[in-house]
Amino acid sequence: MNFSFSEDQVLLRNSVRAALDEQCAPAHVRAMADDTRGYSEALWSEMAKLGWLGLPFAEEQGGAGLGLVELALVLEEMGRAAYPGPYFASVVLGGLGIQLGGSAAQQERWLPAIASGQARASAALLEDALDWDPASTTATATDIEMRMKQGFSVFVMNWGDAGFKTIDMGRKLSGRTDTSK
């Protein structure tokens, strides 16, 4: 069995590396640490044009239809460059969460918007009960926002920048159909 990367995968990795080497110089990364947004909107737009934001999504949903290996190559290069931005939260946690557990309407609404860079997403990963079981998810986006304002610790990556706030995977995975909470 051959575990080598394909020519296309090597090309993707090399192009991501070159772009991030140019865009994510150490001075830029440090500047973004002090920036209220934390990342460059120009770089985010460029990533959308290059197709990185829709990499794992189906073509009919505005994506490139590539797989997890290609996504891992992009993430590896982002880690290498110390990329400052919401890619992991938006594409991996939010976007793949919708792709794997969202309704057809949610997929149709959000995946093209994420892939085009028009929307950012995030996912609530841990609630007050500190239970990692997806079936224990009970909070809605409104609940989480209220809890965070009251000082409760709820882990949501890139909360302030997300176009929508949470994906209620717990209800889908546990078989609950009530989506009002």
**Strand partners of residue 155:** 126
Residue 2 lies inside a defined structural domain of this protein: no
Predicted confidence (pLDDT) per residue in 23-74, tens digit: 999 999 999 988 888 889 999 999 999 999 999 999 999 999 999 999 999 9
Give the 3-state secondary structure of residue 155.
Answer: strand
Do residues 165 and 94 share a domain? Answer: no
Do residues 107 and 145 share a domain? Answer: no
Do residues 132 and 58 share a domain? Answer: no
| Number of domains making up the chain | 2
Q: Is the dihedral of CA 168, 38, 154, 87 positive or negative?
A: positive
- pLDDT at 162 exceeding the cut of 80: no
Residue 91, pLDDT score: 95
Domain that holds residue 159: 124-174
User: Does the reported pTM lie above 0.85?
Assistant: no
Do residues 97 and 148 share a domain? Answer: no
Do residues 33 and 81 share a domain? Answer: yes
Do residues 108 and 144 share a domain? Answer: no
Do residues 35 and 88 share a domain? Answer: yes
Residue 144 lies inside a defined structural domain of this protein: yes
Residue 61, pLDDT score: 94
Do residues 39 and 109 share a domain? Answer: yes
Mean pLDDT on 12-21: 97
Do residues 39 and 70 share a domain? Answer: yes
Torsion of CA 49, 51, 54, 58, to 10 degrees: 120
Predicted confidence (pLDDT) per residue in 99-156, tens digit: 998 889 989 999 999 999 999 887 766 666 667 676 776 665 555 455 544 444 455 5
Give the 3-state secondary structure of residue 172.
Answer: helix
Residue 11 lies inside a defined structural domain of this protein: yes
Residue of 165 and 117 predicted with greater confidence: 117
Residue of 11 and 172 predicted with greater confidence: 11
Residue 75, pLDDT score: 97
Residue 72 lies inside a defined structural domain of this protein: yes
What is the CATH number for 32?
Answer: 1.10.540.10
CB 92 within 8 A of CB 64: no
